[in-house]
Amino acid sequence: MTSSAPARSTATRAPTRGSIQVERLTCSIGAELGGVSLADAARADALFAEIKALLLKHRVLFLRDQDITRADHVALARRWGELEDHPIAGSDPDHPGLVRIYRDLSSPPEHYENSYHCDATWREAPPMACVLRCVETPEVGGDTIWVNMVEAYNRLPEHIKQRIAGLRARHSLEATFGGTMPMEKRRALRASYPDAEHPVVRTHPETGEKILFVNAFTTHFVNFHTPDNVRVGQDFAPGASHLLSYLISQAAIPELQVRFRWKKNSVAIWDNRCTQHYAVQDYWPAVRKMERATIIGEAPC
């Protein structure tokens, strides 16, 4: 099958202007950095500035052998901004903001994450970025996939771009994480974390790029209907759910993705505004332990 996407250069390993070695991992998204310690980057302005610029360029960065302390992990993430905890996954008691994503025999595999999503878009101001470190990984399996959602938007047919311009959508914690809870707990979750509404196409606040911004937390469009296209009582949502499914399915296109094989002390840093990710759920009953610092973002527009 031919592609209408513009041709790009192949992956290269070349020094940046600074000290960091950068190897692009696919033509669309992701680079592995070498010759850098994140503990140093947490303290050195110039090194951090280089990493920040590389993140905007590659959208997800990978580093190996980062045997850093939890304090350094938090300190690095804090250079981007304040951190947030997660209402369901607990945080390290000594390091608030460092969310534990631990999977072992006590977690039923059907509760593992296995859908393409941006983190916490059910918040009014979803996270801008995350720093995830691997503490323990299965011998095989447990990879994570990231997707370039700027490219997902760019590749949409023109008539779809026109149809979704100005559309807004609802994002829900209750409809997703709440799905495994008894009804009472689910209602309480919704009361504490009400649904959020975001544009279907957001603009990256730093690069100005347009981003397709619907994911597994998105339940429906809120302004698809107009007095002209609603037929109350017959077909309440003509075409809306089909269009939403189509948009959500764009994240599964392999040409937009990079897949990362974890090792202990590997770190991934991603821009949560313009990527989605999927933690592959193929390793149960093996243990997988990850720790994530989640940096508070701004309301999408």
> Under the rule (CB under 6 A), what is the footprint of ligand SIN?
101, 113, 119, 130, 132, 144, 277, 279, 290, 292
Residue with smaller CB distance to ligand SIN, 172 or 221:
172
The nearest distance, CB 243 to ligand SIN, in angstroms, is: 25
The nearest distance, CB 272 to ligand SIN, in angstroms, is: 9
The nearest distance, CB 120 to ligand SIN, in angstroms, is: 9
The nearest distance, CB 142 to ligand SIN, in angstroms, is: 7
Residue with smaller CB distance to ligand SIN, 58 or 277:
277
Distance CA 41, CA 73 (A): 10
What letter does residue 253 receive in the DSSP assignment? -
Residue with smaller CB distance to ligand SIN, 40 or 92:
92
Catalytic residues: 117, 119, 277, 292
Q: State how far the alpha carbon of 239 is from the alpha carbons of 224, 226, 236, 242, 250, in Å.
A: 9, 13, 9, 5, 17
Distance CA 280, CA 87 (A): 22
Q: Please say whether the beta carbons of 269 and 80 come within 8 A.
A: no
Distance CA 148, CA 271 (A): 10
Distance CA 118, CA 127 (A): 9
Residue with smaller CB distance to ligand SIN, 32 or 119:
119
